[in-house]
Amino acid sequence: MKKTNEVIGLPVISINEAKEIGVLKTIVINAETNSVSAFVLDDGKWYLEAKLLPISEISGIGESAVTVVNSNVAVKATSAPHLESLLDNDVKIIGTKVLSNKGQVHGTVVEIGFNETDGKIEEITIEETNGHNNIIPATQVYSFGKAVTIITNEQVPQPQIHEDNSLDTNSSKKFDKKIVGKKANHRIQTDNGTIIIDAGGEVTEETIQKAKLAGKLSELSMSVS
């Protein structure tokens, strides 16, 4: 996992051309997939349109530099409409006010941690109203907006585990029954974009099985009402 303050400002090096092609300036957020989709690349040509570096094109992120195969992986915003729309949406996350799903103010997002391979956001750091920092896993985030990040402040029930580390089947079944028939507050999907349940959809046993297979059971349990 990488944090934005570890990557913003790093030079980007083309491996094949053995040269620097720019510096990472800002992140481009996809609020629908809760991920970092690209970076804005500052190549010194401020008078031309923005260049974007998709995270999928990054070969590696080190302490001193970011590497790519060659310079043509950086694209103009207008030649990548999907990324351009994300840029226009201007969801920054950092600096947004944090509210719980119950309407409680928690503070402000000061940092995010993301998977350096697929860009998936794994955690956010909140500067709370008392001045202390608190790290919240991404599974507790309902949604990211332009000005507000919504989280849940409820504890998520977890299946009990035996000493032999096998799941307690009876506890798991009881847990499943508690959420069957409830409505999802927001869409839940697999990491590759397959929808498990839409916002307003009713949770069924089939929904639970899909969530378990995709590793999204905790997210499903937090989304029901």
Q: Tell me, yes or no, whether 178 and 213 share the same domain.
A: yes
Q: How far apart are CA 185 and CA 101, in angstroms?
A: 10
Q: Tell me, yes or no, whether 85 and 63 share the same domain.
A: yes
What's the CATH code of the domain at 116? 2.30.30.240
Tokens of 87: 């840029």
Q: Tell me, yes or no, whether 24 and 82 share the same domain.
A: yes
Q: Tell me, yes or no, whether 179 and 120 share the same domain.
A: no
Instruction: Find the domain containing 122 and state its range.
Output: 97-151
Q: How far apart are CA 54 and CA 171, in angstroms?
A: 43
pLDDT tens-digit map of 191-223? 767 788 888 888 888 888 777 777 777 777 777
Structural domains in the chain (count): 3
User: How, if at all, do strands 148-151 and 51-54 pair?
Assistant: unpaired
Q: How far apart are CA 193 and CA 178, in angstroms?
A: 26
pLDDT tens-digit map of 99-118? 988 888 889 999 999 999 99
Q: How far apart are CA 74 and CA 87, in angstroms?
A: 15
Q: Tell me, yes or no, whether 125 and 55 share the same domain.
A: no
Q: Tell me, yes or no, whether 101 and 67 share the same domain.
A: no
User: How, if at all, do strands 121-128 and 105-114 pair?
Assistant: antiparallel
User: What region, left, alpha or beta, does residue 119 occupy, with left being phi > 0 and alpha being psi -120 to 50 degrees?
Assistant: left
Q: How far apart are CA 114 and CA 144, in angstroms?
A: 14
Average confidence (pLDDT) over 146-173: 56
In a domain, 175, yes or no: yes
In a domain, 162, yes or no: no
Q: Tell me, yes or no, whether 109 and 69 share the same domain.
A: no
pLDDT tens-digit map of 9-63? 999 999 999 999 999 999 999 999 999 999 999 877 654 578 899 999 999 999 8
Instruction: Provide the 10 A C-beta neighbour count for residue 221.
Output: 22
Q: Tell me, yes or no, whether 60 and 10 share the same domain.
A: yes
